[in-house]
Amino acid sequence: MPLNKDLVGKEYPPTTTEATLDAMQNYARAYNDENPAFFGSNRAGGIVAPPMYAIVTIWASIMGVVGDQDLKVDVVRLLHGEQDMEFIAPIRPGDKITASARIASIETKASGETLVLELNAKNQASQKVNRTLFNAFIRGGGKGGSDAKVAEPERGEPIVTVAQQVDKDQTYRYKEASGDFNPIHVDENFAKMAGLPGIIVHGLCTMAFTSKVIIDNLCGGDPVKLKRLRVRFTRPVLPGQVITTKVWPDSEREGRRILAFETFNPEGRAVIRSGLAEVAL
């Protein structure tokens, strides 16, 4: 059954999440990040959350939309297609983050449908902390034909290349820290029933791995300098794989350095394309 396009523009009631120190640090550990900014008690300016922890504070809002019976989302056929996150202000321990969601668009493609949600979050002082575009792809029920594929440009030699080990238990740890309990990430039989090769790593976990690459190598280790991260998920990552992220310079504008990146599996096939990061100068 197709998604209900009459709901485009619908806004949902806000949800509020308290950002505790334990939750922030558990999230960092869930993607293997021991950055002192998340753990150092004597850090100037105090401890901050990993930028990708923002997903924890908006997850209830995302689930509120996906669970809307009038929208008619078949979660078994749902895959995460793209994610675009702007990190407007850091989240700190004790913050109360209120998130709101609306359906930005629903489009029919050749092999399914896309559902785009816009989420905005602010802290207890009404300061905006992040803005997110969450793009889901619902397999099947498309209009036939083939979706146009955009070739990635030739970028030359990367300025940064980083290999990262995805642990065998990564999906179980990330599930608990993120609140994303989709069984395709922890249940082998369910994943295969959904047409997947087996358990796959959360797309947002892979995205968190790439955030570490950018912060460690292009932000001088300071997570507050990461202002935006955008990815297109093109292939599942499997537990136990080594992923390699390559980063290229793009441009500079409005006090930010713009970077392009892609992430590859051990076979050299892209798991993330069209990666974009914006870093404060």
Confidence of residue 44 (pLDDT cuts 50, 70, 90): low
Give the single-character DSSP code of 195: T
Confidence of residue 155 (pLDDT cuts 50, 70, 90): confident
Confidence of residue 145 (pLDDT cuts 50, 70, 90): very low
Instruction: Tell which wins on pLDDT, 184 or 147.
Output: 184
What value does the mean pLDDT take over residues 168-197?
A: 94
- Residue 117 maps to which CATH number? 3.10.129.10
Q: Residue 252 — φ and ψ, nearest 5°?
A: -135, 140
Confidence of residue 195 (pLDDT cuts 50, 70, 90): confident
Give the chain's length. Answer: 281
Number of domains in the chain: 1
> What residue numbers bound the domain in which 126 lies?
5-280
Alpha carbon separation from 267 to 156, 164, 200, 206, 263 (Å, rounded): 20, 14, 16, 16, 11
What value does the mean pLDDT take over residues 235-264?
A: 96
Q: According to DSSP H, which parts of the chain are helical?
A: 21-30, 36-39, 54-66, 170-178, 188-193, 203-218
Per-residue pLDDT tens digits for 119-128:
999 999 999 9
